[in-house]
């Protein structure tokens, strides 16, 4: 467990849980492999856009922009526990609307359909770096009632699972006694948060292999599997797309 650390005055906070039919322990395990394979770099999928908030917050503070990861309290939704189909995302969109391939060691998945039944057309990710093992635990606790949104200065909404926040150190609203443990911390690096594109459907056999390797495999097995899954898609690179910076899908946080 990391030693006691202070909660930053401005940071990104995301709550983690079951996603794409995969338990949080296995998600964190394979994200740790991704971190190792990327020399500290990993992407953490989220279901809602942060717009320019992360970049603007990073520019407003001294030092590095941090992201704190906390397990959810709420029970996972059935659509997250047993999704019908799963996407793997292959590219990200830069600030000019150009589609760029994700790093080869990165694997980001999400369910393929929205709660409404419509096909997902976009997904998002935090760009993270850490020299510490993910999931080792910290002594930090986050009090959601103390937080307010970086851009609006308003308390967090009930459906905000990932947000760029300022810590007020006193209750603005809600239950000040409810505290969230912080499982691990990373720094964010430019471009901080990105819109994803070029999804491909995973087959049932792909999903079985992801579960098998996550549960019983090792980092070499995972690296080979990521290469195969990412190699199945040929994204259309450098094709301008419309930036979807403020699209919002309530209640979505993880996907990884």
Number of helices (H) and strands (E), helices first, in the chain?
5, 12
Q: What is the pLDDT of residues 18-58, one digit of tens each?
A: 776 688 999 999 999 999 999 999 999 999 999 999 999 99
Element (H, E) at 184: strand 184-201
Tokens, residue 76: 């996972």
Tokens of 11: 């940071």
pLDDT (mean) for 217-235: 88
Closest CA to 50 of 194, 242, 251, 252: 194
Q: In the predicted model, what is the mean pLDDT of residues 179-207?
A: 95
CA–CA separation, 122 and 110 (whole Å): 10
Mean pLDDT throughout 55-70?
A: 96
Residue 139 has pLDDT above 50, yes or no: yes
What are the C-alpha distances in Å from 199 to residues 49, 119, 126, 215?
17, 11, 17, 24
pLDDT at res. 5: 64
| Inter-residue long-range contacts of 105-108, CB under 8 Å, 24+ positions, other chains counted | 105/34, 105/37, 105/38, 105/41, 105/223, 105/226, 106/34, 106/38, 106/42, 106/43, 106/226, 106/230, 107/30, 107/34, 107/226, 107/229, 107/230, 107/256, 108/43, 108/45, 108/196, 108/255, 108/256
pLDDT value for 172: 59
Q: Given a cut of 90, is residue 251 above it in pLDDT?
A: no
Helix orientation angle between 204-216 and 219-231, rounded to the nearest 10 degrees: 160
Average pLDDT of the segment spanning 7-24: 87
pLDDT at 256 over 60: no
Q: Tell me the torsion sign for CA atoms 214, 30, 49, 102.
A: negative
Return d(Cα 204, Cα 19) in angstroms, integer. Answer: 16
**Lowest mean pLDDT, pick from 135-139, 150-154, 155-159:** 155-159
pLDDT at 22: 81
Predicted local distance difference test score (pLDDT) of residue 160 = 86
Among 78, 83, 52, 49, CA closest to 253: 49
* For the chain, percent of residues with pLDDT exceeding 90: 62
Cα–Cα distances (Å) from 116 to 137, 206, 255, in that order, read 36, 25, 18
pLDDT digits (tens, 9 = 90+) for 153-183: 998 887 789 999 999 876 656 666 788 999 9
This prediction's pTM: 0.86
């Amino acid at each position: 467990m990391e030693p006691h650390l202070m909660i930053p005055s401005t940071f990104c906070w995301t709550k983690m849980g079951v996603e794409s039919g995969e338990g949080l322990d296995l998600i964190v395990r394979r994200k740790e492999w991704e971190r190792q394979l990327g020399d500290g770099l990993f992407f953490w999928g989220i279901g809602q856009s942060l717009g320019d908030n992360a970049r603007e917050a990073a520019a407003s503070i001294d030092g590095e922009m941090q992201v704190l990861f906390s397990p959810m309290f709420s029970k996972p939704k059935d659509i997250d526990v047993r999704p019908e189909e799963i996407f793997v995302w292959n590219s990200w969109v830069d600030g000019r609307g150009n589609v760029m391939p994700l790093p080869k060691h990165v694997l980001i998945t999400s369910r393929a359909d929205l709660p409404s039944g419509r096909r997902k057309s976009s997904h998002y990710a935090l760009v993270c770096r850490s020299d510490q093992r993910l999931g080792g635990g910290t002594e930090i606790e986050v009090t959601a009632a103390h937080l307010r949104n970086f851009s609006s200065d308003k308390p967090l909404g009930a459906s905000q699972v990932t947000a760029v926040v300022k810590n007020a150190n006193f209750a603005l609203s809600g239950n000040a006694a409810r505290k969230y443990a912080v499982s691990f911390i990373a720094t964010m690096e430019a471009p901080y948060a990105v819109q994803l594109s070029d999804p491909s459907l995973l087959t049932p056999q792909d999903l079985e292999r992801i579960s098998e390797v996550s549960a019983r495999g090792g980092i070499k097995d995972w690296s080979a599997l990521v290469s195969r899954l990412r190699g199945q898609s040929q994204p259309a690179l450098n094709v301008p797309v419309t930036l979807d910076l403020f699209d919002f899908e309530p209640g979505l946080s993880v996907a990884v």
